[in-house]
Amino acid sequence: MSYVNERFFLDTLAMKQIHRLKPQFGYNGFGEITYYRSYSREILDDLDEVIGQEHWADTVIRVINGVFSIRKDWNIRNRIGWNEEGMQAYAFEMAIALFQMHWLPPGRGLWSMGTDLIYERGAMALYNCAAIKIGAYWVEDLSWLMNTLMWGVGVGFKPERIDLELEHPTFGYKHVIDDTREAWCESFEALCNAYIDPEYGSPEFDYSMIRPEGALIRSFGGLASGPGPLMAMHEDMKAQFEGYIEGTIDVVELLTNLANLIGVCVVTGNVRRSAQIGLGDFSDPVFRHLKDYSKFPNRKSFGWMSNNSVYLDSDDDFMNLDMIAQANIEGHDLGYINLRNLPKGRIRIGEHDTKKDIGTLFNPCGEIILENKEVCNVAETLPTRCTDIDSWLRACEYATFYCSTVALLPTHQPETNAVVMRNRRIGVSIIDFQGWKLQHGVCEVTNYLRRGYNAIKAFNRKLADEAGVPESIRVTAIKPGGTVPKLAGRTSGIGHPTFSYTIRRIRVQANTNLERLLIAAGIPHEPDHYSKQTTTFEYPIIQGPAVPATEVSLWEQAFDLILIQREWADNAVSNTLYFKPKWALVGQGSLKDLVQDLTINGINIGRLYQDGAVWFESGRHRVSFDYEAEEYKVYCFNPNHEEDMVEAVLSHIAPLTKSVSLLPHSDMGFMPQMPEEGITKAEYERRLAAIKPIDWSTFSGSDGQDERFCQGERCEINPAIS
């Protein structure tokens, strides 16, 4: 069955005009590298033979053709009528604005919109995120989570405290796993069922049908991982079930662990992007501590897969904001969700949207409220790329058209379709809010936000009336952006740049034409620390013009969040409030490299290591030794730290926000090959001068490769996997 039968194609003259334009990628060419790495696809003829490689104009045309094909199919299928001439004119205007990056679809849309994957299999690959409650039907719920992640959709999940009885399997049987998404999910279900009902039997898996490691994934991009990640997940699942039967693992921990293990399996299986957020009650004695690996050391190898946030609902919950503050100061990554504000739209005193939202779940990056098994659909506008306020308002309209159209196309999941058809939820977002604020000031930007929101609401209502569907329950959000803002050379969402002069790292599949082009251009590179068959390149960029996060107070960040939640986002705002830690990381290394006379910041690290110290403090410095990981870290005391402010900030803003997350800011990454690293102006200029121009006309043989992880500040994760 085809999901889209009618097709739309920009006319020949329009396509010629688009091809004459010159794209303006950002960050001195890094945006162009990001485009060709992630979103440029092979061009196929009618016989599916490769006849070329997409350049930016080709991708723009494919995306516009895809959006208008979905709407044309809807209109004709429902006997609404279709004005081809009028739509050709509007599609051309929308394409020009997309080419100029006044608005952008999400990365998923840039890669898959207008492809046979969408026409033949439905909308799931276009959605950014989803959410699910893991309850009484926990096996089916987790299987839905796995299937959704395997489409590259990030998933929020809430493990319910259910009554669960498990037993040891009594006999075995052979289970052959086919090379499909559905078969991987079925293998998960089979192993769960073995512990639910001893008479079901324990599957003895045959992995021989799964394509080998390194094989091309034609429909979804990237290279296959082979059966390794699935085999590892199965073994880890058995350990979790055994722990639960023996009473060492709680039911909420079990369900969270299973969700995280699924995430690890999927993300190491080279899916384009996967991310998770775990949601739980603050009062739950287990959930709120799951990111504290001193309490749950067995989770350290997979607990990184999800951010975790707790609900604030009762008066007692709000009285415990100091505990959330302390958890983040200690590095345990715990956000909060204000359950009382979720039914509202924008948080405005005495004024709320009349349409009540019954969603209580969240997507991994925290910008969309969702119901059970609902998916979210977003696009972005770039006011600092637009020429004036009127061109930005038109960009808001185009982004609304994109999102509202995607919501017309069903997914392959009937339960999901039922929610989408009722809510039609979309999220038009903003890139580079800080740059915009710097250009025009808070007062003027506040006025623009109000005008933009009203324009989006009105246009969404017009589109809904024309299509004969309900208007969207919510229409605006602030997403973290991730890869897409890099195309235009702009800062994601409402956040400040991490640094001014910056090394930006990008991961590229080894032994590909793209890798060879980047090496020939003289871009520094090394084998990726975490992934096989991957090379990490380092590219110098300047972030801005807004000042970096290190120069912005926690209070100012908090007030920006309140402003956007009040004037723009009737969904929510993806945010990470950075605070300056009391002890800042200033040096780190491997214990294997230590020698007796190694000195950092006046501290003889080698001698301390030989003395066997675990912690050492001397004046303004501390040194920690992790003998299991075989590494050391050096910290320096920051007299201007903000740790004492964290609880006060949370207490002030909790009534005016829907979700909040925090991170201690560090000039130095805590792991190798961090996505961004600050450098000096001289180092930036030296690196940039050494890079040669790239002739992209010779680029070919790629169908796109995205980052494996959600790209928000809080959810871009670099786990120690291989």
Q: What is the structure's pLDDT at 668?
A: 65
Number of domain units in the chain = 3
The 10s digit of each residue's pLDDT in 78-129 is: 999 999 999 999 999 999 999 999 999 999 999 999 999 999 999 999 999 9
Contact 497, 578 (CB under 8 A): no
Contact 89, 40 (CB under 8 A): no
> CA 61 to CA 9: how far, in whole Å?
8
Burial environment of residue 47 by CB neighbours within 10 A (0 to 12, 13 to 18, 19 or more)? exposed
Please give the torsion angle defined by the CA atoms of residues 99, 101, 105 and 106, in that order, rounded to the nearest 10 degrees. Answer: 130
- Among 186, 253, 367, 716, which one carries the catalytic annotation? 367
> CA 394 to CA 396: how far, in whole Å?
5
CA-CA-CA-CA torsion sign (507, 510, 514, 515): positive
Q: What is the structure's pLDDT at 51?
A: 94
**Residue 685 a catalytic site member:** no
110 shares its domain with 223: no
Q: Does residue 590 sit within a domain?
A: yes
> CA 678 to CA 542: how far, in whole Å?
10
Q: What is the structure's pLDDT at 214?
A: 65
In the block, tokens 């690890």 appear at 264
**Residue 140 a catalytic site member:** no
In the chain, count H helices and then E strands.
21, 28
For the beta carbon of residue 266, count every other beta carbon within 10 angstroms. Answer: 29
83 shares its domain with 192: no
Domain that holds residue 629: 583-637
Q: Does residue 623 sit within a domain?
A: yes
Q: Does residue 548 sit within a domain?
A: no
> CA 17 to CA 8: how far, in whole Å?
18
Q: What is the structure's pLDDT at 219?
A: 54
55 shares its domain with 154: no
User: Which of 487, 512, 533 is the C-terminal boundary of a domain?
Assistant: 487
Which residues lie across from 370 on neighbouring strands?
A: 361
Burial environment of residue 479 by CB neighbours within 10 A (0 to 12, 13 to 18, 19 or more)? buried
105 shares its domain with 207: no
What does the chain come to in residues? 722
Q: Does residue 170 sit within a domain?
A: yes
pTM exceeds 0.95, yes or no: no
Beta strands 202-206 and 172-176: pairing type?
A: parallel
> CA 274 to CA 269: how far, in whole Å?
10
User: Which of 611, 637, 663 is the C-terminal boundary of a domain?
Assistant: 637
Q: Does residue 215 sit within a domain?
A: yes
CATH of the domain at 54: 3.20.70.20
Residues of the chain with pLDDT under 50: 271-272, 708-722
134 shares its domain with 274: yes
Q: What is the structure's pLDDT at 715?
A: 41
74 shares its domain with 133: no
Q: Does residue 1 sit within a domain?
A: no
101 shares its domain with 209: no
Q: What is the structure's pLDDT at 161?
A: 97
99 shares its domain with 180: no
102 shares its domain with 154: no
User: Which of 429, 454, 487 is the C-terminal boundary of a domain?
Assistant: 487
> CA 141 to CA 155: how far, in whole Å?
12
Q: Does residue 401 sit within a domain?
A: yes
Nearest CA among 381, 306, 332 for reference residue 156: 306
The radius of gyration of the chain's CA atoms, rounded to the nearest angstrom, is 25
> CA 645 to CA 662: how far, in whole Å?
12
Residue 493 structure tokens: 């969402």
477 shares its domain with 606: no
170 shares its domain with 258: yes
> CA 505 to CA 499: how far, in whole Å?
14
Say which amino acid occupies 679: I
148 shares its domain with 36: no
Q: Does residue 665 sit within a domain?
A: no
